[in-house]
Amino acid sequence: QTMLFINRRGYSTFVSCRNCGYVMKCTHCDVSYKYHATSGKLVCHYCGETVARPEVCPVCGSKYIRYFGTGTQKVEEEVKKYFPTARVLRMDMDTVSGKNGYSNILNKFADGEVDILVGTQMIAKGLDFPKVSLVGIVSADTMLQLPDYTSREKTYSLITQVAGRSGRAGDKGVVVLQTYNPDNPVLRFATKYDYEGFFEREISLRKTTSYPPYATIVRVMVESDDEEKGVEALRKVYEGLSALRERESDAFLFFNKMKSPIKRLKNKFRFQVLMRIDYKREDVLNQIYELSLPVSDKNALVYVEINPGNLS
């Protein structure tokens, strides 16, 4: 049996007009729609909004609408095209939504009713299928592009976990990793299962760039239905934190205010003050809470995140 892993669901990752370059975006979030071929719809993976697939560009009226990127649905389609006699099943959030969807798919695979299982992270961890002798990791590069200081760590972990699904019955397994950057150190360490080598390089980078565990990342988030009220709340937070920075300058390694990478999410405008603090200065963390949280009111929600797992 074979398992193919790709960390994106849907068919295409974004839809664009080849004539004017317009990218179809969610009306509630500042993110592109993903195309789902099974439903023929464009879907926002953040708020769940679903719209019909466009026949023409809503900006210039061109018919040159194209679908870019690859998700689990596209991989499944390609596999069926090249291996028409294989029994193929897909496992992602779209196929396990039913009451017993998750267990039904795993049981079919375990019972040998499926030859090739295509899936997301759901197939990466804690599964033991003795008949799996081949694992394919599709587009491994995409996981390294996340706006997150732990993206390298997460990539290494996912690759080694999904690779471990192959050859579990004693027979030698094969793992094929697809990448546009085969010389990337993270991928090199992962393909050799060299945890110590990866750790030494990653911890050295964290130390040089002042990221955890050598610093504490603090993000003060401001969210509001009204952009102007969000900016006003951000100004109040920033003024208080700026004064704290002047008093405790030795504790601050980085300090900046900005819009979040995803500027609007579920109709909320998002702003942030991003900081890196000396990991020994818990007293400063307490002061950040005391200065930030009281700004929150009915017009704007303010909250503090410590070492957030995702900076989008």
Q: What angle do CA 36, 40, 41 make, to 5 degrees?
A: 70
| CA 210 – CA 276 distance, rounded (Å) | 8
Residues 159-205: pLDDT tens digits? 998 888 887 767 788 999 999 999 999 999 999 999 999 999 999 99
Which percentage of the chain shows pLDDT scores above 90? 72
Instruction: Give CA–CA dist 165/292, Å, rounded.
Output: 46
- Confirm if 210 and 253 have CB atoms less than 8 A apart: yes
CB atoms within 10 A of CB 183: 7
For residue 129, give both structure tokens: 């299928």
**pLDDT at 300 > cutoff 80:** yes
Q: How far apart are CA 78 and CA 90, in angstroms?
A: 12
Residue 236 has pLDDT above 90, yes or no: yes
Rounded CA gap, 298 and 292, in Å?
15
Which residues 6+ apart lie within 8 Å of 52 measured at CB?
A: 40, 41, 42
Mean pLDDT computed over every residue of the chain: 91
Structure tokens of 238? 């920033």
pLDDT tens profile 36-93: 998 899 999 999 999 998 889 999 999 999 999 899 999 999 999 999 999 999 999 8
Q: How far apart are CA 176 and CA 137, in angstroms?
A: 6
In the DSSP assignment, the letter for residue 214 is S
Question: Per-residue confidence at 149, pLDDT binned at 50, 70, 90?
Answer: confident
pLDDT, tens digit (0-9, with 9 covering 90-100), for 97-130: 777 777 888 889 889 999 999 999 888 877 788 8
Rounded to two decimals, the pTM is 0.85
User: For residue 213, what pLDDT is reported?
Assistant: 94
| Residue whose entry in the numeric block shows the structure tokens 């006003």 | 232
Q: Do residues 93 and 29 touch, judged by C-beta distance below 8 A?
A: no
Cα 300 from Cα 303, distance rounded (Å): 10
- Paired with 119 in beta bridges are 5, 91
DSSP 31-43: SBPEEETTTTEEE
User: What is the Cα–Cα distance from 2 to 133, expressed in whole angstroms?
Assistant: 6
Q: Please give the pLDDT value at position 169.
A: 66
Beta-bridge partner residues of 270: 223
Q: What pLDDT was estimated at residue 137? A: 93
**In the prediction, which pLDDT does 208 show?**
93
- Residue 131 and residue 169 in contact, taking contact as beta carbons nearer than 8 Å: yes
The beta strands (E) that lie in 201-241 are given as 215-224
290 or 121: which carries more pLDDT confidence? 290
CA distances in angstroms from 7 to 33, 69, 103, 188, listed in the order given: 16, 12, 20, 19
3-state class (DSSP) for residue 104: helix
Give residue 32's pLDDT band: very low, low, confident or very high (50, 70, 90): very high
What pLDDT, on a 0 to 100 scale, did the predictor assign at position 207? 94
216 touches 306 (CB < 8 A): yes
* Per-residue pLDDT tens digits for 11-30: 998 999 999 999 999 999 99
Banded model confidence at residue 312, pLDDT cuts 50, 70, 90: confident
